[in-house]
Structure 1
Amino acid sequence: MTLGKRIKECRLKCGYTQSQMASKLSMTEANFSSYERDKSQPPSEKLNQMSSILGVSADYLLGKTNDPRTGEKDSKKLIEMIEILSITNDMMAEFIQSRGLTPEFQKFVEQWKAHENVQEANQWNNSY
């Protein structure tokens, strides 16, 4: 299935019109329609926005996977990677956005990190 067909299929499943999607993406309806008709391809920023609005991964829209989920199944690996790399929240936000993960997932990771920091501090305090 082409990118355009996947975009259209997901849009219809979500109950959005082309006009509503165009509005959400700050573009004209004609521009959005050209994506669904495979006349043009959205830039990566718009593709990520679409995947977030439609609740699917950018990889699904691109046809790289047949699994439309947004990547939450890989949350444990991502959390481990964030912890290992000790990246900042800004870097984490950019990474999550580039992977098409939801803002809700970013909040989950931030809450998890805060929880882990509290546990680590409690363990440190208990050891002295």
Structure 2
Amino acid sequence: MGIGKRIREAREGCGLTQKQLAKKIGVTSSAIANYENEISHPKETVLYALLDALQVDANFLFQDCVALEKKVVLSQEDNDFLQKFHALDRHGREVVNAVLLLEYQRSKEESTRHSSMPLNIPFQVSSQPASAGTGTYLGPDGFEEILVEPEQVAGADFGVPVRGDSMEPRFHNGDIILISMKQPVEVGDIALVTMDGCGYVKKIGQDELISLNKKYAPIPMTGDVRINGKVIGVLSSHD
């Protein structure tokens, strides 16, 4: 049984003819016939008037429109709201509909905004800084996790804090440089280098480590030199 047959059942239960029901809700008797024969369906405002005139709720009219396992049952709160809505005059219903539309749009926009926000992921950052100066001792390996947006650290294996100003203006004290261990490091690249136990973030020269800040002289590469990865980006402390 569809909504049309439910309308007919409720109308007959109220002892109303199609013409009498049409007069009650402000439509033509042919419109009622079309609803009952499911040639057309009542608009929202007419539907509310139908529920009111037939003294039934939405559950009654729509109980056959969905499969049993997908059936939507109105809560007592929903039914209370509908009863109050039906008791309003036309002006009251227009006000409620206007407020409802505004709140629906606001809620939908808020939901869309939250769903589009990127989820933060954990990212490992060394607890020991690398020097953008004359060298910082890198003690035993240790990392801590920070939460970042995935796009901020794409391609990076870990981060290292910068200490000093020798790589200004590109990197500043307190920045976290992003290190890739997968990308090859060539002369002219900026890399994380350890030399005799001290860590540096420097531009790689032929046989020296070069600072971007001109007040610092190049550091000759001597002793135990290891290139730990290429600098591919930065989480700036100045953002």
TM-score, length-normalised on structure 1?
Answer: 0.52
Which structure 1 residue ranges, 4+ long, deviate > 3 Å from structure 2? none
Partner of 2:76: 74
The Cα RMSD (Å) is 3.0
Partner of 1:28: 28
Secondary structure of the structure 2 residue equivalent to 1:46: helix
Q: Does 1:8 align with 2:8?
A: yes
- Aligned equivalents of 2:45 and 2:20: distance in 1? 18
- Aligned equivalents of 1:62 and 1:7: distance in 2? 10
Q: Does 1:19 align with 2:23?
A: no
The CA deviation at 1:14 is 0.4
The CA deviation at 1:103 is 2.0
RCO higher in 1 or 2 (8 Å CA, sep ≥ 6)? Answer: 1
Deviations 1:9-62 (A, max 9, x none): 000000000000111111111111100000000001111110111111023212
Secondary structure of the structure 2 residue equivalent to 1:7: helix
Counterpart residue type for residue 39 of structure 1 = I
Counterpart residue type for residue 59 of structure 1 = N
Matches within 5 A, 1:1-128: 1-63=1-63, 74=76, 96=81, 99=82, 101=84, 102-103=86-87
- Aligned equivalents of 1:30 and 1:18: distance in 2? 8
Bigger fraction of residues in strand: 2
Bigger fraction of residues in helix: 1
Counterpart residue type for residue 8 of structure 1 = R
- Aligned equivalents of 1:19 and 1:32: distance in 2? 8
Count of aligned pairs between the two proteins: 80
- Aligned equivalents of 1:15 and 1:29: distance in 2? 15
Secondary structure of the structure 2 residue equivalent to 1:39: coil
The CA deviation at 1:100 is 5.1
Unaligned 5+ segments in structure 1 are 66-70, 80-95, 105-128
- Aligned equivalents of 1:74 and 1:40: distance in 2? 30
Distance 1:58 1:29, change over 3 A: same
Identity %: 30
Unaligned 5+ segments in structure 2 are 67-73, 89-239
- Aligned equivalents of 1:4 and 1:78: distance in 2? 21
Distance 1:52 1:78, change over 3 A: closer
